[in-house]
Structure 1
Amino acid sequence: MGDNHNLLAEQRRALILEEVRRHGGARVNELTRKLMVSDMTVRRDLDTLARQGALEKVHGGAVPLADASTHEPGFEAKSSLETSAKTEIARAAAVMAQPGSAIALSGGTTTYALAQQLVEVPDLTVVTNSVRVADVFHTAHRGPGGARSPRPGAATVVLTGGMRTPSDSLVGPVADAAIRSLHFDVLFLGVHGISVEAGLSTPNLAEAETNRRFVGAARRVVVVADHTKWGTVGLSSFATLRDVDTLVTDGGLPDGARAEIQDHLPELVVAGEDEGAQEREEQRRTGD
């Protein structure tokens, strides 16, 4: 792809900086498409802006200048990143929720995408600390004019209380108390970062404690995370890889990372690639 020479370098970098600040982050492939320049040009611009202290480079893109371990973009900003991957992950994870089971969904944009896939699974009991996730189920089960639908099999949704984070999760003592006495068949957990050394981590200390409660209450822990989360480390770890039963991710995960994950986790599901595993899970769920 040829570069767009209609923009001076200074203009192009100003547009990049505006994009990063407006959305809380931007990926290289998005910037190349919007600016109509090459991947190499965008990466050079990001290098220049990072040296100037205008933004911070991260794997695959850039975020506003902040301590990478404590920076937490808002829900809307994160929703714009890796959207197709999140949809694929959600579809692959949805078959792991059996009708009539009790499940938990943590906050996050990937679990939000998963909730949209789960609304037709009958007789679920769903516990979540995400207002966004709860709204997906409530909206799906309302009839014309906003009236509550009498449709049999609609999910029962329990929303924890708590303090709201930038990513629209409810955390803190109220959320922790709500989760403490519960037991889930499956926890679907979104994460800020996952690595061999740090395990599962988040930039938010209160969210780390609430997620720790979720993990402790689940019989099976399924982490839903796109490939950019691998190798990322947030401020606070809340679980080790030994606490995870299944990681559902996308095909952007490098081969080296796949091998490393398979050495440390019982099950790795790559959305769109591991169709056999998804079929086995579907059979297990339906009892066929």
Structure 2
Amino acid sequence: MALARPLAAAATASLAALLAPGRPLVMGILNVTPDSFSDGGRFVDPSVAVARARTMIVQGADILDVGAESTRPYGGNQGVSADDELARLRPVLPEVIGLGLPVSIDTIKASTAAWALDQGAAIVNDVWGLQRDPAMASLVAKYGVPVIVMHNRDKADPAIDIVADVVAFFARTLEIAAQAGIARATIVLDPGIGFGKTPEQSLTCLHHLAEFKRFGLPLLVGASRKRFIASVSPSEPTERIGGSIATHLIAAREGAAILRVHDVQETVQALRVTAAIEGAR
């Protein structure tokens, strides 16, 4: 069992090292769930899930994000118990961690995050930005690991100023983090594309990514296969690779540090070609 890492300074160094290449990092999504919106059920079998992780590493992923509870951004998700979540993770996560790439645990439960960190997970990805499980902030502070905090809402409200809402949410999350003793330099902000937002609001957030850089922290953008793409070009989730890549290239241009994607190979290729063209100027 991996030892807990209680010093935030160590996590700060690891996050800085992770971001050191100065290019957008590609985070590959591994959902070991039966009901995720895009690939639900494909990787429930542990051997298939581990094989998928190996494939994403070969394809050029920098980080693997493993989740065992669907956080599908629009309706129908009732959540699962911590016991069920751990039952899905136990046969998969330790093997994925053993592949050697930094692994993020995608969970809103502090107890699940603690177990994953003890196995050697390197990052916590909380899609409720430390605002759902009261124990999450202190858990992250105790382990001193980097944390991705995402903006979320219980339901979309088309009447609100979504950019202002995201900014206010992040401000509250950063207050919670500071009170818990989380080092600011270990925090990554995620505007939560598709979560608690109408498709139009997701587009607005993407257009205004610069607004979220006011906090001076790295941004993660996860627009992969999201419904807003279908609002522009009608399509099923697996038919949204083009829209996903277009969105992530724009996000990278606007300074996103991490891109969370289903389609690792295609995204890595798009980023490399874009960098080569820009370098040829």
TM-score scaled by structure 1?
Answer: 0.33
Higher share in helix: 2
Higher share in strand: 1
TM-score scaled by structure 2?
Answer: 0.33
1 or 2 for the larger relative contact order (CA 8 Å, sep ≥6)? 2
Which one has a bigger Cα radius of gyration? Answer: 1
